[in-house]
């Protein structure tokens, strides 16, 4: 009995320490009225609206919602739920049918991913589409998606998942960002034209410093090397490190000694922050440019790396939170403020948690749901609500051209193109304002087409065998 009492007292103390302060600040603030974007939505036919009355569309999201990358996947989930609520309220969902988000957590396990896929796709009513956010997950079920005729929307640029091992077998998988190889190509294109603006000595030479693994190694290919070299951007070599590596100064040193003045990284969150800290520690800022794929331009990197991240340049294939003159961005900002930030009140911990959600994942959730509605509406109009299935949705995606949320994401798929093919180049800049320093991600360019640098891609220069 006394033991139980002791345990109870201990739990009470711990609860008072950790839970009470957080809970005390959950009081809701005054909620502003949501604004509406100027939508260019395809209108649903009356008969389909009638046929779908009272129905629901389940948007299945499968991936590692818990575990080490939850700081990305949880904002994604929050964003998808806020986006679904927004579109249900503003547009009545899809042809009047409510959109319901159905998240499934794999905890990063491929076995659980397989289980979840089988369970969802073998249900009495198979899904018309799935949404995944892990390259490895998409690669795992690539063939199943083809066989079961269920298209996948993917928030990663995995060449294998999209085009197969030889780059010549477009699958049922469609990426919402450009392929990582194409992203590096776009970066080289930009650097070849704007290198002088960085004021760094010598011709541009890239050294790769990325996470070990398929994701980290995805940009350094013979095709990207040949393409960048054809534009006058040299290659100094590649170093890879594990996410657990405490310090990457030696890797940076090695690449710089090999002639690199651009460190290009295919990593995220602590990866770019770790490299930025090493560059700052070595006092190489101004002599070396840190750049990378779209994941380097994120608030998770800024939050961890602080002032070290100033000047990080990368691929930005969507509009950012700071493009506040765009109505779509205004909607996302407003939704985040209303649903996530204002309820935090004045509590610093709750505010910090809300600010951590103001990242890539939450931002892209809105154009993803917008595109989902558009794809489904077009498909329903074409085949009728009663004939809606995965194959019909796939056929729509195969010729899907759409600027989601007033151009936050610009979809342009065809029977041979499985990824977004336009981008901007962006940069992290700390802008001085009256209230302090504001970390922003600004566009350095207008939109331009990314080169096709997958194996056998149209823009790959002739290479020696």
Partner 1 sequence: MADWEIFGQSFGLVVETIIRGILQGGLYSLIALGIVVINKASGIFNFAHGWMMFFGAMLFWQFYANDPSAQLRGGVIVLAAAVGLFILVSVGISTRGTVAVAGAKQNALQRLLSQWQNNQIDKQRFVVFLVGAIVTTIIIAVCVLQDSSEMVRASAAALIGSIVLGLLLERFTIRPLLGQPVLTAILMTLAIGFMLQGASQIIWGTVPQKIDVFTAESTRTDEEKAAAPATNVIAVPVFTFEGGQQEVTTQQELGGGTAANYRIKTESWLGRDIRLPRFLVWGFFIAIVVFVAFTLFFQYTSLGLAMRATAENQVLAESVGLQVRWTLALSWAMVAVMATMAGVVQGTGGTGVDIAVVPLLALVVFPAVLLGGLESITGAMVGGLVIGVVEKLTTIYVDTTAGQQLAPFVVLIIVLIIRPDGLFGQRRIDRV
Handedness of CA 323, 328, 331, 337 (dihedral sign): negative
Alpha-carbon distance of 213 to 242, in angstroms, equals: 9
Q: How many CB atoms lie within 10 A of CB 403?
A: 18
Q: Give yes or no for residue 23 binding partner 1 (CB under 8 A).
A: no
Alpha-carbon distance of 78 to 86, in angstroms, equals: 12
Q: Give yes or no for residue 341 binding partner 1 (CB under 8 A).
A: yes
Choose the binding region for partner 1 from 2-10, 174-182, 197-205, 418-426 (rule: CB under 8 A): 2-10
Task: Provide the minimum distance between the beta carbon of 318 and partner 1 in the complex, in angstroms, as a whole number.
Answer: 18
Are 168 and 405 contacting, i.e. CB atoms less than 8 angstroms apart? no
Of 357 and 377, nearer to partner 1 (C-beta) is 357
Q: Give yes or no for residue 207 binding partner 1 (CB under 8 A).
A: no
Of 155 and 379, nearer to partner 1 (C-beta) is 155
The binder of partner 1 chosen from 349, 415, 416, 456 (CB under 8 A) = 349
Q: Which residues contact 277 (CB under 8 A, 6 or more apart)?
A: 305, 308
Are 294 and 179 contacting, i.e. CB atoms less than 8 angstroms apart? no
Alpha-carbon distance of 349 to 351, in angstroms, equals: 5
Of 155 and 270, nearer to partner 1 (C-beta) is 270
Q: Give yes or no for residue 355 binding partner 1 (CB under 8 A).
A: yes
Are 375 and 397 contacting, i.e. CB atoms less than 8 angstroms apart? yes
Q: Give yes or no for residue 435 binding partner 1 (CB under 8 A).
A: yes
The binder of partner 1 chosen from 277, 371, 385, 428 (CB under 8 A) = 277
Site size with partner 1, rule: CB under 8 A: 86
Find the binding residues for partner 1 in span 58-117 (CB under 8 A). Answer: 66-71, 74
Q: Give yes or no for residue 442 binding partner 1 (CB under 8 A).
A: no
The binder of partner 1 chosen from 49, 140, 200, 342 (CB under 8 A) = 342
Q: Give yes or no for residue 38 binding partner 1 (CB under 8 A).
A: no
The binder of partner 1 chosen from 253, 287, 395, 398 (CB under 8 A) = 253
Q: Give yes or no for residue 273 binding partner 1 (CB under 8 A).
A: yes
Find the binding residues for partner 1 in span 357-396 (CB under 8 A). Answer: 358
Establish how many alpha carbons lie within 13 A of residue 239's alpha carbon, considering only the half-sphere containing its beta carbon.
23
Alpha-carbon distance of 120 to 70, in angstroms, equals: 22
Choose the binding region for partner 1 from 25-33, 121-129, 179-187, 445-453 (rule: CB under 8 A): 25-33
Q: Give yes or no for residue 438 binding partner 1 (CB under 8 A).
A: yes
Alpha-carbon distance of 166 to 174, in angstroms, equals: 17
Of 14 and 50, nearer to partner 1 (C-beta) is 14
Q: Give yes or no for residue 338 binding partner 1 (CB under 8 A).
A: yes
Of 31 and 50, nearer to partner 1 (C-beta) is 31
Counted residue by residue, the chain has a size of 465
Choose the binding region for partner 1 from 42-50, 169-177, 196-204, 302-310 (rule: CB under 8 A): 302-310
Are 219 and 266 contacting, i.e. CB atoms less than 8 angstroms apart? yes
* Listed residue (52, 99, 66) closest to 80, CA to CA: 99
Handedness of CA 325, 329, 330, 331 (dihedral sign): positive
Q: Give yes or no for residue 303 binding partner 1 (CB under 8 A).
A: yes
Of 42 and 334, nearer to partner 1 (C-beta) is 334
Q: Which helix (H) or strand (E) holds 136?
A: helix 135-140
Of 274 and 427, nearer to partner 1 (C-beta) is 274
DSSP 406-435: TTTEEEE--SS--B--EEEEEEEEEEEETT
């Amino acid at each position: 009995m006394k033991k139980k009492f002791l345990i109870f007292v201990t739990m009470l103390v711990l609860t008072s320490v950790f839970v009470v302060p957080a809970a005390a600040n959950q009081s809701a603030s005054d909620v502003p009225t949501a604004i509406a974007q100027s939508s260019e939505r395809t209108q649903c036919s009356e008969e389909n609206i009638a046929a779908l009355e009272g129905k629901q569309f389940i948007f299945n999201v499968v991936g590692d919602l818990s575990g080490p990358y939850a700081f990305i996947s949880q904002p994604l989930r929050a964003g998808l739920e806020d986006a679904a609520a927004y579109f249900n309220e503003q547009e009545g969902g899809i042809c009047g049918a409510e959109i319901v988000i159905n998240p499934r957590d794999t905890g990063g396990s491929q076995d659980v991913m397989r289980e979840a896929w089988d369970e969802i796709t073998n249900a009495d009513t198979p899904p018309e589409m799935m949404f995944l956010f892990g390259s490895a997950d998409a690669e795992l079920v690539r063939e199943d998606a083809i066989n079961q005729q269920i298209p996948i929307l993917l928030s990663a640029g995995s060449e294998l998942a999209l085009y197969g091992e030889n780059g010549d077998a477009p699958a049922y998988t469609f990426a919402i960002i450009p392929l990582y190889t194409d992203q590096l190509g776009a970066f080289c294109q930009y650097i070849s034209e704007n290198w002088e603006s960085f004021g760094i000595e010598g011709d541009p030479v890239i050294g790769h410093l990325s996470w070990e693994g398929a994701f980290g190694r995805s940009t350094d290919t013979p095709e990207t090397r040949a393409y960048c070299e054809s534009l006058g951007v040299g290659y100094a070599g590649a170093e890879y490190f594990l996410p657990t590596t405490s310090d990457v100064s030696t890797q940076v040193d090695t690449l710089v000694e090999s002639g690199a003045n651009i460190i290009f990284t295919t990593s995220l969150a602590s990866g770019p922050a770790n490299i930025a800290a090493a560059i700052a520690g070595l006092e190489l800022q101004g002599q070396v440019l840190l750049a990378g794929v779209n994941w380097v331009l994120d608030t998770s990197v800024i939050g961890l790396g602080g002032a070290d991240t100033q000047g990080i340049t990368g691929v930005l294939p969507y509009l950012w939170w700071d493009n506040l003159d765009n109505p779509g961005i205004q909607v996302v900002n407003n939704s985040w403020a209303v649903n996530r930030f204002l309820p935090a009140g004045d509590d610093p911990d709750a505010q910090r948690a809300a600010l951590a959600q103001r990242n890539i994942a939450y931002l892209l959730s809105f154009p993803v749901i917008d595109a989902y509605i558009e794809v489904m509406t077009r498909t329903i109009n074409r085949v009728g609500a009663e004939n809606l299935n995965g194959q019909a949705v796939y056929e729509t995606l195969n010729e899907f051209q759409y600027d989601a949320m007033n151009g936050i994401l610009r979809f342009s798929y065809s029977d041979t193109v499985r990824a977004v093919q336009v981008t901007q180049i962006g940069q992290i800049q700390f802008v001085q304002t009256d209230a302090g320093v504001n970390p922003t991600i600004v566009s350095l360019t207008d939109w331009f087409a990314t080169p096709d640098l997958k194996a056998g891609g149209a823009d790959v220069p002739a290479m020696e065998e």
